[in-house]
Amino acid sequence: MQLAPGVWRVATVRHDLVNTFVLVDDDGQATLVDAGLKRASKAILAGLEHIGVAPSEVTRIIATHAHPDHVGGLAALRGRTGAAVAVHEREADYVREGKGPVLDRSHLGGRLMRRNRGSVATPVDEVLVDGQLLDVAGGLRVLHTPGHSPGHISLLHEPTRVLITGDAIWNMMGRMTWSMSMLCTDAALSRRTAEVLGEVDYKVAAFTHGPEIREDARETVRGFLRAKQRQDAA
């Protein structure tokens, strides 16, 4: 699914339940955002072929965070493409060690699960910081939105104004929601830091979980955030 010139969404689970994103430079080099579950590499490589991108043209893979539905296919894709792996500095050790971030112990599910399962240990070639502008398809801005995990990031492609929320907000089953609290490191922090997604400027809101919003995307996200603020204040 093409979201904007040079920006694509590849669904790796039916009904858009888990998505990977592809950003292509003018010279044909590509960057992946998120690597899906362990079995997702086949679907991602097929998506690249459909777009016309060879595996050797993928130069960077960015993981929004180290949960298994975002890094499960990371090691396989790195091996297949030779691409550099980039994650936020606070997420890097989880990826290197193949361990998921600890979970929110204020919730029963978090106490029972203790840690979100990780994936295959994968070298990290580049660590990212908040506000960094990456040389990706004309400029990809890193937005640190911690809480879902310590180093969770969202990403804004500035030339096309496509926002990739990661797991800061889901858009599943026809409505926006927070990610499940039991899957967060700090659910309350995740909801606070998501406010940054109402402040930046974009035309398309793209979600790792669920289809994108194209019409009045920023106002729709801001409306969701305002409604949640009112609920929390009540």
What is the widest separation between alpha-carbon atoms in the chain?
53
Residue 4 half-sphere exposure toward CB, CA atoms < 13 A: 23
The mean per-residue pLDDT over the stretch 206-221 comes to: 97
CA–CA separation, 180 and 109 (whole Å): 10
CATH number of this structure's domain 2-233: 3.60.15.10
Residue carrying structure tokens 């990706």: 136
Nearest alpha carbon to residue 155 among 71, 226, 61: 61
Query: Is pTM beyond 0.75 here?
Result: yes
pLDDT exceeds 60 at position 143: yes
* φ and ψ of 100, to 5 deg: -80, 160
Contact status, residue 42 vs residue 77, Cβ threshold 8 Å: no
Alpha-carbon separation of residue 80 from 74, 76, 77 (angstroms) = 10, 6, 5
Contact status, residue 126 vs residue 26, Cβ threshold 8 Å: no
* Identity at 2, one-letter amino acid code: Q
Element (H, E) at 135: none
Plot region of 156 (φ>0 → left; ψ -120 to 50 → alpha; else → beta): beta
Residue carrying structure tokens 């500095």: 89
**Residue-wise pLDDT tens digits, 154-200:** 999 999 999 999 999 999 988 999 999 989 999 999 999 999 999 99
Token pair in block for residue 77: 């894709």
**Residue-wise pLDDT tens digits, 84-116:** 999 999 999 999 999 888 886 665 444 445 556
Which has the higher per-residue pLDDT, 93 or 232?
93
